[in-house]
Amino acid sequence: MTTKTSMHIDPYERTWMIVSGVMLVVFLVAVSVAGFAMGIQLPNPDRRVDPATVATDPNSPWHPDNVGLRELSPGKYEAYILASQLQGWRFIPNEITVPAGSTITFYVTSQDLQHGFKLENTNVNMMVIPGQVSKLTVTLSSSGEYNFICHEYCGSGHAIMYGKVIVTP
């Protein structure tokens, strides 16, 4: 003797279960393509720093003597950028120049409050949090000017907080 049980599923419910399953697959494919094929990365918190001394400690990469662009090898750069409300809503430095095809790793931190860092027409888009270093790498293959802006509201000077990366041919 066998007992056979089957669960009743309403046709509408069945349809929505199938739609939900398909959406999960679509999302998984989209995330995989973005991450592995298009190289879209999430900003990495790179290290912790003390916002009170990050711009004044002579050993800090964001000290006025050290901040800015460093060439590691031809076409490979690191850019240490300080976001500052205390010094008049500025990125320091607010202009860097590299040749086309360069790869730049940005290390951005704040000495006061929360800022943002978005480099136009690239995937570089990160929050800049005091005490934390935001890190992202980008390759700029075409020449031109790429503006970067603060996109986290940081007070009355927020709108003037911007700079640019100049990419020369």
Residues at the contact surface with ligand CUA, assessed by CB under 6 A = 83, 89, 115, 150, 152-154, 158, 161
Residue placing its CB nearer to ligand CUA in the complex, 150 or 167: 150
Q: How far is the CB of 153 from ligand CUA (least distance, A)?
A: 6
User: Over the range 102-133, which residues count as b (16 or more CB within 10 Å of their CB) and which as e?
Assistant: bbbbbbbbbbbbbbbbbbeeebbebbbbbebb
Q: How far is the CB of 133 from ligand CUA (least distance, A)?
A: 16
Residue placing its CB nearer to ligand CUA in the complex, 83 or 136: 83
Coil, helix or strand for 32? helix
Residue 112: which of 73, 61, 154 has the closest Cα? 154
Residue placing its CB nearer to ligand CUA in the complex, 136 or 150: 150
Q: How far is the CB of 120 from ligand CUA (least distance, A)?
A: 15
Residue placing its CB nearer to ligand CUA in the complex, 103 or 114: 114
Both structure tokens of 2: 């066998």
* Interacting residues of 124 by C-beta distance below 8 A, sequence separation 6+: 106, 117, 118, 136, 138, 148
Q: How far is the CB of 161 from ligand CUA (least distance, A)?
A: 4
- Strands 125-128 and 90-92 come out as unpaired
Q: How far is the CB of 88 from ligand CUA (least distance, A)?
A: 11
Does residue 79 contact residue 106 with C-beta atoms inside 8 Å? Answer: yes
Residue 109: which of 148, 164, 62, 42 has the closest Cα? 62
